[in-house]
Structure 1
Amino acid sequence: MTDYSKKRTAAGNQESLSKWHNFLAVFVLVTLIFALISGIGKTITLGRILGTSRWDGISSISAIQNTNPPTVLIWQSYPKRLVVVKLDPDVNVPTGNIDEPVGSLKSLFENATGDQMRAIVLSNIHIPITNYLFWETDKDIGEEKFKDDFKSFASFVTPFKIIFGETEEGLKTDFAQKDLIKLWWQSKSLSLGEIEFIDTGNMTEDIVLPRGQKVKGIDEYSVQALLSKYMENRKILEGKEKIVIENASGVAGAGKLASDLVGAVGATVSSVEVAPVPIDKSSVRAEKSYTSVYLAKVFDCDITSGLNEDRDMVKIIVGRDFADRFLL
């Protein structure tokens, strides 16, 4: 009888200890989440858990996903809104292949990686695409289905899934964990009725092939003009830097694409120059400021300070790496 009582007492103590450990684990996780969101969580430990953030929480963040139909998702922080942009899967885009110069968006996505999808869309609608959501199996999407997915993402369970690296089955993404938590924190107060849906299916123009054949392509200027208002960055709009682009890629269209990407976020490009000698790697020459740091992220390059006579100038040097990646 005494042994039985001791066993019951030990079991009770073990159960209490287990409950306390569970409570402590939840408390630690919640503390980490809110420390990160409030900007306090800049310790080495937190960095190791969640990795490096690429999004400042002020600029718009966007992603292409290979759903049916393909969609671009844009989250704008100021004003707060979420936009779902439907792309026509049958519209034709350049392939970079001489023998088959154009192909449907759907056919190109079939064999593309997530980063290649991002490059295809960025080069055809001329707005920054920061991330991708790559589905390994077919995923149909409509307004109601997307709202259900958003409701699930905005739930209070999501931060724990992010920390433990849980994603939907068959989904690959390059979103940083810190950025997903920031996105969750901002978007959880958005109502389903505030989500905007845009269909670009009628924004097309004729592409004339070498033999005179005409096919339906994306009207990049109409699409970019429509979507730029969702990409505008209020900090860039407030900036007073003079922005100059130097095309050092050796490819004629690289300067124009770079200028469009800068213009899409609300900045004004003063001039587009052509470098006498091509270089391999892009860079931003400027003193460190919000604008220069942000544009360096857009072009995925380093910042070099102290090389401009005008300290208020931000000079974007477009190298071969940019052209190779985004000009198909």
Structure 2
Amino acid sequence: MSAFLIVLILVLASFNGLVKTFSINKYLGTSNWNSNSSFVAVLSTTPLAVLILQGDPKRLVFLTIDEKTYLATGNPNEPIATISSLINKSYGGGLTRLLSLAFRADIENYVIFKNDQKINKEEVTKWFKNYSSLAAPFMTLTGRIGDDIKDTNITRIDQLRLWWQLKNVRVNQLELIDLSQYQEDVVYKNDQKVLGVDNLVLHKVISQYLENENVTKENLKIKVINASGIAGVGQLAADFAASVGVNIVKIETAPNLVDQTFIQTSAKNKYTVRYLANIFKCDIKSSSSSDEEVSLVIGNDFASKYF
């Protein structure tokens, strides 16, 4: 029996009882992942981890980072600080914001565990086997998978999509990467040296797992325009886009400020344009230009989220 047929049977069996009290859409939730790009999530493990499921090459990666590591904060009053001093591990939104800034890449999903969850090769292998098993879809639909999870913003529909991809991953395609290997001495207060990791190094590491083949094939030229009025916002947005393979050709500062980020182009149907709109949660506006020039105009909404 094919895996698809098994899932279909499980779905129908589960929904037979569930649809009496829930609508299917409400129960499954809205998908935030197109399955073509890498899936990324922060895990509140010890040490903290970023999970990445990449399609090509196919692999499941866990990037771990010690909470005693110093990172650049973007705050002029305290330019660097330890991860542990900056986060509350029980707050998913705070975790995704911090690590998005640290890696200079878009990280929106999170998983918060009920108890302190250690992460090592043995645990990673166990999680993989549980979540890629044929029983996983049924467990997801009935709410019985992830009993150790306190909170997550990963919807059931995306959990099912994850399973569909995970079942084709092999154990030897699991990678557990300790980012402490990139630590170096950085100057702290009173010329004191502490161990930290440069954000540009983290960006370079994560980008190799986020690159989207559909984006690199189109190779559209993207111009980023900082219309937020805050210095550094344009570069952060450009780094978010570049991490998935977008070709950034210019970063400009606009004289007039805007509240909402938007994309302006005549190539509204291009994959890269639609993908960027999903990353920045913004509208796509038509341009009268005859070429495929794409302008990503960054507004105060993006700036206020990260600065």
C-alpha distance in structure 2 between counterparts of 1:182 and 1:111, whole Å: 26
The equivalent residue for 2:256 is 277
| Paired letter, 2:142 | F
Residue ranges of structure 2 left out of the alignment (5+ in a row): 1-6, 15-22
Q: 2:283 aligned to 289, 299, 303, which one?
A: 303
- SS of structure 2 residue aligned to 1:245: strand
C-alpha distance in structure 2 between counterparts of 1:271 and 1:101, whole Å: 27
| Paired letter, 2:276 | L
Percent identity, aligned pairs only, is: 32
Contact conserved, 1:127 with 1:260, CA < 8 A, in 2? yes
C-alpha distance in structure 1 between counterparts of 2:147 and 2:90, whole Å: 20
CA distance 1:283–1:205, shift in 2 (3 Å): farther
1:266 positional shift: 1.1
1:289 positional shift: 2.5
The equivalent residue for 1:158 is 136
C-alpha distance in structure 1 between counterparts of 2:13 and 2:221, whole Å: 40
- SS of structure 2 residue aligned to 1:224: helix
1:72-87 maps to which residues of 2 (within 5 A)?
A: 72-87=50-65
Contact conserved, 1:285 with 1:308, CA < 8 A, in 2? no
Q: 1:105 aligned to 83, 86, 103, which one?
A: 83
1:122 positional shift: 1.1
C-alpha distance in structure 1 between counterparts of 2:138 and 2:303, whole Å: 39
Contact conserved, 2:53 with 2:60, CA < 8 A, in 1? yes
The equivalent residue for 2:269 is 288
1:29 positional shift: 3.5
1:302 positional shift: 2.1
- SS of structure 1 residue aligned to 2:259: coil
| Paired letter, 1:77 | G
C-alpha distance in structure 1 between counterparts of 2:212 and 2:8, whole Å: 35
Question: What is the CA deviation profile of residues 192-218 of structure 1, one whole-angstrom value per residue up to 9, with x for unaligned ones?
Answer: 121012111021344444644433322
Contact conserved, 1:292 with 1:303, CA < 8 A, in 2? no
C-alpha distance in structure 1 between counterparts of 2:11 and 2:170, whole Å: 24
| Paired letter, 1:296 | A
Question: What TM-score, normalized to structure 1?
Answer: 0.80
CA distance 1:32–1:58, shift in 2 (3 Å): farther
Question: What is the CA deviation profile of residues 98-142 of structure 1, one whole-angstrom value per residue up to 9, with x for unaligned ones?
Answer: 665533112323366211111111111122213111124211111
Q: 1:215 aligned to 194, 198, 209, which one?
A: 194
CA distance 1:308–1:174, shift in 2 (3 Å): farther
Contact conserved, 1:293 with 1:303, CA < 8 A, in 2? no
The equivalent residue for 1:6 is none
Contact conserved, 2:224 with 2:250, CA < 8 A, in 1? yes
- SS of structure 1 residue aligned to 2:115: coil
1:173 positional shift: 0.9
Question: Which protein is richer in strand relative to its size?
Answer: 2
CA distance 1:271–1:97, shift in 2 (3 Å): closer
- State the number of aligned residues: 291
- SS of structure 1 residue aligned to 2:235: helix
CA distance 1:100–1:256, shift in 2 (3 Å): closer
CA distance 1:308–1:120, shift in 2 (3 Å): farther
C-alpha distance in structure 2 between counterparts of 1:252 and 1:159, whole Å: 46
1:318 positional shift: 1.3
CA distance 1:27–1:258, shift in 2 (3 Å): closer
CA distance 1:242–1:47, shift in 2 (3 Å): same
The equivalent residue for 1:326 is 306
Contact conserved, 1:58 with 1:78, CA < 8 A, in 2? no
The equivalent residue for 1:19 is none
| Paired letter, 1:173 | T
1:230 positional shift: 1.0
The equivalent residue for 2:295 is 315
Q: 1:64 aligned to 17, 30, 42, which one?
A: 42
CA distance 1:79–1:111, shift in 2 (3 Å): closer
Contact conserved, 2:210 with 2:243, CA < 8 A, in 1? yes
Question: What is the CA deviation profile of residues 156-182 of structure 1, one whole-angstrom value per residue up to 9, with x for unaligned ones?
Answer: 221122223343234311112211111
Question: What is the CA deviation profile of residues 71-113 of structure 1, one whole-angstrom value per residue up to 9, with x for unaligned ones?
Answer: 1111111221111111122111245666655331123233662
Contact conserved, 2:219 with 2:246, CA < 8 A, in 1? no
Question: What TM-score, normalized to structure 2?
Answer: 0.85
- Aligned-CA RMSD value: 2.5
C-alpha distance in structure 2 between counterparts of 1:244 and 1:31, whole Å: 47
Structure (1 or 2) with the larger CA radius of gyration? 1
C-alpha distance in structure 1 between counterparts of 2:235 and 2:155, whole Å: 30
Q: Which moved more, 1:114-123 or 1:221-230?
A: 221-230
| Paired letter, 1:295 | L
